Amino acid sequence: MTAHSAHTPAIDVLVDAITSPETVSELEAAGCDGVWVTETVRDPFLALAEYARVTRTTALATGVAIAFARSPMTLAMSAHDLQRISGGRLTLGLGSQVKPHIERRFSMPWSEPAERMREYVLALRAIWACWNEGEPLDFQGRFYRHTLMTPFFNPGPHGFGRPSVVLGGVGQRMTAVAGEVADGFLCAPLTSPRSLEQYTLPALGRTGEGFTITATPFVVTGEDATATARVEDATRRRIAFYASTPAYRTILEVHGWGARAEELTRLSRAGEWKAMAGLVDDEMLDAFAVVAAPDQVAAAVRERWGDTADRVALFVAADPGPEAAAELVRIVGRVRAGRAPGGLRRPSSECPAAT
């Protein structure tokens, strides 16, 4: 994905539900710059292959695909195919997930995730160089070895080159790996401008030309009060879910919410999901979500992310369904129009994420 200027981020959409190709086609018509698909309830590569067929200019990205659930070779092939199908529009967003999911959900090995991810990206590059540029395949690392590629299994070049690789991460070591070997960094939804500036950017150690930073903020908006309330409730539940994960503890501590993070973790282990959402007060909601009317979201995004993010993938955490999909298309159209400046629910001076 090509970064826009620092003060005018590209406006993308992040989807983690089953979104129809028709909706994505409508998003493109509404002016959406890109679509990111999470690996939650569907295979992001299959979803993006569908979307590639019904779009022409929209950037397509995995946000994220779980690297350690696959070998570098299998993932390299999926990405190579999707780069071909999309005509070079793919950004490969990768994440590590956490140890319990890798070992107990995917039944795959887990060790030294940051070092393993660094080697994983280098292995991908070696495989793509073999296919696209005719380089001999001879990658030998601690975790991965790829030394065999016969002509029968070599798909060859497709003319679009390798996709960009961006890494998602939270911990400082994984973030540093992104700055070292990736083409960009994908911020987790539970990222505020404050945590980005104080915690993430120092660990990343790299910004500027050739390196893309993508923010994925929750967006609380809607065409009327009922729709907005539905999105706000879903967003509080999502924030509570993320905040209950120990990996996000440091992000919450930036805002002084370490004790609340511990309580959310305790409630999650007890299965008290409804009680968890109640701990996400307005201050926490405003830290991690852009809260604005649809035609004021663009100005709010510029205010919060225009100095740091090249792309902003809006995460509207509404429950899936035809009405929500249609509303998302309308919201994107209003955001792209960006008619009125300002419009945050509270003055920015009272919002901790804007200071």
Q: How far apart are CA 242 and CA 31, in angstroms?
A: 29
At 321, the pLDDT band (50, 70, 90 cuts) reads low
More confident: 94 or 328: 94
Q: Is residue 355 scored above 60 in pLDDT?
A: no
8 Å CB contact between 214 and 313: yes
Distance of CA 186 to the CA centre of its chain: 5
Q: What is the pLDDT of residue 61?
A: 98
Percent with pLDDT over 90 in the chain: 75
8 Å CB contact between 44 and 92: no
Q: What is the pLDDT of residue 217?
A: 94
Q: Is residue 6 scored above 50 in pLDDT?
A: no
Q: What is the pLDDT of residue 353?
A: 33
61-97 tens-digit pLDDT:
999 999 999 999 999 999 999 999 999 999 999 999 9
Which domains does the chain show, CATH number per domain?
10-343 (3.20.20.30)
For the chain, what is the mean pLDDT? 90
**pTM (2 decimals)?**
0.90
Q: Is residue 325 scored above 90 in pLDDT?
A: no
Nearest to residue 252, comparing CAs of 273, 37, 262? 262
222-235 tens-digit pLDDT:
878 888 899 999 99
Over residues 167-177, mean pLDDT: 95
95-135 tens-digit pLDDT:
999 999 999 999 999 999 999 999 999 999 999 999 999 99
Range with the poorest average pLDDT among 89-93, 264-268, 295-299: 295-299
Percent with pLDDT over 70 in the chain: 92
